Structure 1
Amino acid sequence: MTDAISSILSQIRAYEARAQGGLAGSAGMAGTGRAGDTPPSNAISGTAAPSSSFQQTLNNAIDGVSKAQNEAGALQQAFELGDPRADLARVMVAMQQSQVAFKAAVEVRNRLVQAYQDVMNMPI
């Protein structure tokens, strides 16, 4: 059960690093890579995490999915209105990117719910 939680946290950190990109992402990975238990203990104690909090990471991921869906919708509408800059290939790629991002967010949510249920079902 601990392995599942660690796996989910590492996937979220990897997604955060890709979302931040550049130097900000490598600094975030360096901060979380030193001690695997640092972010949860900081969250429990109420102190600020060195890189960013779990809530901020989750909000950034959801914002990224929303942005991808909005851009795909705007491209689709532009294509329907006959805008020459919105060709079919770009519209289809944007739609697929937003679909993959949404599926990834749903999968992360499902894994978090499963990890929460595993923790709640642990005997005391």
Structure 2
Amino acid sequence: MAIEGIDASRIQSMLSQLKQAAQRPDTAALPAAGSASAQGTQKLDFAEALKASLNQVNSMQLQSEKLGQQFVLGDDKVSLSDVMITGQKASIAFQATVQVRNKLVSAYQDIMNMQV
């Protein structure tokens, strides 16, 4: 049984979305004009990017659950393969999210252990 890696097109899509979000002029994300940190540069809001990613994983899981319920109820429009594929996609997305969380926690611990 071969285990496939994460689809490279999805990674490229996510990177392009992050780049587009970083280039978008968002006045709410900019510091106030009178503040000392206002230098004309825009910053990508990490919290918003993380929230959007978590919302996408959640929607994948909800869609998987909904398809499973439709299949169990005997909906002719839903096949077993669709249910299984959607479930695997949701599972892989969740596993990737857990790995990102683990890396973030590890990076945080490394930073906190640095000597100043």
TM-score computed with the length of structure 1 as normaliser: 0.65
Q: 2:93 corresponds to which letter in structure 1?
A: A
The residue that corresponds to 2:13 in the other structure is: 18
Unaligned runs of 5+ in 2: 1-9, 24-30, 32-36
> Aligned match of 1:78 in 59, 70, 85?
70
Preserved contact between residue 65 and residue 101 of structure 1 (Cα < 8 Å)? yes
Q: 2:87 corresponds to which letter in structure 1?
A: M
The residue that corresponds to 1:28 in the other structure is: 21
What are the equivalent positions in structure 2 for 1:38-117 lying under 5 Å apart?
Answer: 50=42, 52-117=44-109
Query: Which structure: greater helix fraction?
Result: 1
Largest Rg, 1 or 2: 2
Once the two structures are TM-superposed, the CA of residue 81 in structure 1 deviates from its matched residue by: 0.1
Q: CA RMSD in A?
A: 3.0
The residue that corresponds to 2:112 in the other structure is: 120
Unaligned runs of 5+ in 1: 1-13, 32-41
**After TM superposition, what 4+ stretches of structure 1 lie above 2 angstroms from structure 2?**
17-21, 24-29, 49-52
TM-score computed with the length of structure 2 as normaliser: 0.69
Structure possessing the higher relative contact order (Cα contacts under 8 Å, 6 or more residues apart): 1
Once the two structures are TM-superposed, the CA of residue 50 in structure 1 deviates from its matched residue by: 3.0
Q: 1:28 corresponds to which letter in structure 2?
A: A
